[in-house]
Structure 1
């Protein structure tokens, strides 16, 4: 289980989230403002932060930027707001937030966001790389998945054969985590868009994202939606 820092100036929100996450087996630390959040983050190095955007002293996005600029954004951060806009969510994602939850936060959305954020990006990348390579080895004529052992730091993922020709995806792991994560996520979404013929609805269902959040994510990653639509025609 994880150590989770909840940062919110509303006592009721802190108490509710603490109760839910504690029931799930997590260790929960609380902060009501940016000053307390900085202290807890420095002392405990939490595995995840739930960060309210609108706070009286320093707002959540400013604190997120501060952590990113100082190299302290070593943990995923989920932003929360009862007055958020699409622009605010996009800005938070731009500065490193892993997700955005709109208040009132439902139990299902909270637990899903926490579960997804706690999956280590490197683990997701390694699993995807190995899965993609095994698919190719198994699909090739006479291919034997055991003939070429996979190295956990493999840098390439070949597309499944049924996708047809496309350029090879190269994942350079010797770079900042956020850049490596963005490269993987772009390839991940392009793969599912190709699989689903460009259907945003089916991709949203398969990836567990709401359609509006999925669209913003694809635009942020620079995924060419028109190309997938042309491929579906």
Structure 2
């Protein structure tokens, strides 16, 4: 478990990253601008920082420079942006950023970058050599299937009903099974079912799946 600071002026991005990282067992602090990031940096001493480049008060690269100049860049920093150029990425890495993630950030890219950042492993590919869109980090290794599986539960479905209702009943049972099997971890269920995390959340809410119950059972 690590203390991770997420700095991004977009509420949706902050919430999504926080949910994913919290699900992985990390403690997460959120900041929406450079001022809050400075305060959190001093207060919580993060093990890793996810830092957006484009922010309203001070941009991420300037904040990175500030930390480097004042001796505060003693934790790995992963830069994030959906509009940065290669020159910006190169500059950030030169200043001391551990890695660069291009938005929209996929689950696999985020978790791999965080894993490498906490291990202080540099990116294997140089941002100078390829465009940003080719900086996809390797997907996570498949979940170990050798662990003891969750007990199988026989499911019965009433087929004498409209197709939509029957399909929803099956999908609800399917997701509840995998939530129990994965101990309530949304991250692992997303990987297992092949859905993006945000899509998975919407699907579970639509089907009325009780996430708290799945975690208790798991």
TM-score (norm: length of structure 1): 0.53
Residue of 182, 205, 215 corresponding to 2:129: 215
Report deviation, 1:30: 0.1
- Tell me the residue number matched to 2:202: none
> What are the residue-to-residue correspondences of 1:4-153 with 2, within 5 Å?
4-120=4-120
Structure 2's unaligned 5+ residue stretches are 131-218
Superposition TM-score, scaled by structure 2 size: 0.57
Secondary structure of the corresponding residue to residue 100 of structure 1: strand
Residue 190 (structure 1) aligns with: none
Whole-Å Cα distance in 1 between the matches of residues 120 and 110 of structure 2? 18
Deviation at 1:120, TM superposition (A): 4.3
Q: CA deviation at 1:214?
A: 7.6
SS of 1:4's equivalent?
strand
- Superposition map of 1:118-197 within 5 A: 118-120=118-120
- The structure with higher relative contact order (CA 8 Å, sep 6+) is 2
The structure richer in helix per residue is 1
Q: Aligned-pair distance for 1:106?
A: 0.4
- The answer to whether the 8 A contact 2:98-2:120 is kept is no
- CA–CA separation in structure 1 for the residues paired with 2:86 and 2:24: 30
Answer whether contact 2:77 2:98 (CA < 8 A) is retained.
yes
Distance (whole Å) between structure 2 residues aligned to residue 26 and residue 98 of structure 1? 19
Structure 2 equivalent of residue 226 of structure 1? none
Q: Secondary structure at the match of 1:215?
A: coil
Q: Please tell me the root mean square deviation across aligned C-alpha atoms, in Å.
A: 1.7
SS in 2 for 1:63: helix
Secondary structure class of the residue paired with 2:79: strand
C-alpha deviation, 1:93, in angstroms: 0.3
Equivalent residues of 2:86, 2:127 under 8 A apart: no
Once residues 35 and 79 of structure 1 are traced to their aligned partners in structure 2, the CA distance between those partners, rounded to angstroms, is: 17
CA 1:209–1:76: 2 relative to 1, 3 Å: same
